[in-house]
Amino acid sequence: MHPLLQRQIKRHLSHINPLPEWENFLQAVDEAYCQFEADHILIERSLELSSEELLQSNSQLQGFLDTVEAQVVNRTLELAQANAELTATFASLQHTQVQLIQAEKMSSLGQLVAGVAHEINNPVNFIYGNLVYLRSYSNSLLAIVQQFLEFYTEPPSKIQELIDDLDLDYMSRDLPKIIDSMQLGTQRIKEIILSLRNFSRMDEAEYKTVDLHDGIESTITMLRHRLNRDLKRPAIKIIRNYGNLPMIECYAAQMNQVFMNILANAIDAIEEKIRNQKLRELDQTSDCIEIQTILMDQKFVSIRFLDNGIGIDPATQKKLFDPFFTTKPIGMGTGIGLSISYRIITEQHQGTIECISSIGKGTELIIKIPIVQK
């Protein structure tokens, strides 16, 4: 008989004499107890096996999750690295593209400027050189005519008619003025040719010691047509505050390109301000660009360009030197001028370029380069 059933009978039925007919009942109860215990043991074993299987499955699943997580982390790192490499490659391609554009632009511009200067220089020199003889010959001829009129107070009628038709008195006064204006004009052309040559500097592919003021003045000459007054605005004034600078070691043509880009942008900013003023019917102020040069601690020079144009907002200032970034309409700007300038100053001359600007107050660009390149 099942031990549990025996204990229950002994506890509750020990004082009662068992009847013969109880044997079958007790036997059935005993079988039920035994079956229950067998089923209980089977269920416990099944639960143990299921628990072990669940723990094993959970361990396998956790291992799988750890593996997947590690793979995701590794893949994320690989993608981040690939993205960084692509970003660096894109920046390098942009840099290379800007350099190629700059090289092609400077080469084409330099060749064009040098060619034009050469072609203009020869005939201008011919005219300028002969003006001295023209002045001398014309003075001699006028002196002879004057002597003739003094000796012949009453010339023949035909000569008198010719004198009256030509207005000899006016011609005598005006001819020297014409020669003076021709000499002034040819001198101005010679100065422009010199500025063109100084600006292009095709023969200076290495560092040379130059006067930065000459480069700035050559650039101003190149942009003179944009500074002069026109129908839409008054003239833009150039204010020069030049310091006593030594000769600077630099790539002269590249520095001239920087000056050109900065001054052209300053003129654009002033013209945009004028357009906005007209739209809002504001009083026009004096339009000017100030250029300052300063010697700093005997090792560096500073060149500052200050305009009273429309100004630049902070968001735009952050992108100002990015390749191909421009705020101008399509066809009005390429977005490489200041980017090229930044590369020239920082990479070619180990200097710095900084922008300080406020909307409505103008812009200041500050260049700092060493006097001697290492």
β 237-241/288-296 pair status: parallel
Q: Give domain status of residue 252, yes or no.
A: yes
Q: Domain holding 355: CATH number?
A: 3.30.565.10
The domain boundary residue, chosen from 71, 99, 114: 71
Which amino acid does the sequence have at 281?
Answer: E
What sign has the CA pseudo-torsion 217, 223, 228, 232?
Answer: negative
Cα first-last separation, the chain: 108
The domain boundary residue, chosen from 71, 106, 122: 71
Contact by Cβ (8 Å): 270, 309: yes
Q: Give domain status of residue 31, yes or no.
A: yes
Helix/strand/coil for 140 = helix
d(CA 304, CA 362): 13
Q: In what order do the strands lie in the sheet with 362-370?
A: 237-241, 288-296, 300-307, 362-370, 352-358
Contact by Cβ (8 Å): 254, 202: no
What pLDDT, on the 0 to 100 scale, is given for residue 292? 95
Q: Are residues 67 and 213 in the same domain?
A: no
The domain boundary residue, chosen from 34, 52, 71: 71
What pLDDT, on the 0 to 100 scale, is given for residue 273? 86
SS3 content of the chain, % helix, strand, coil (to 5): 65, 10, 25
pLDDT tens sequence for the chain (374 residues): 656 656 666 665 666 555 566 666 667 766 777 777 777 778 877 887 777 778 888 888 888 888 888 888 888 888 888 888 888 777 777 666 666 666 555 555 556 666 666 677 778 888 888 888 888 888 888 888 888 878 877 778 888 788 788 788 888 888 888 888 888 888 878 777 776 666 665 445 578 888 999 989 988 888 888 888 887 788 899 999 999 999 999 988 888 889 988 998 899 889 888 887 754 444 456 889 999 999 988 899 999 999 998 888 888 888 887 766 676 665 565 667 788 888 889 988 999 999 998 888 889 999 999 999 87
Domain that holds residue 33: 3-71
Q: Give domain status of residue 221, yes or no.
A: yes
Q: Residues near 214 by Cβ (< 8 Å), separated by ≥ 6?
A: 198
Q: Are residues 209 and 60 in the same domain?
A: no
Contact by Cβ (8 Å): 213, 293: yes
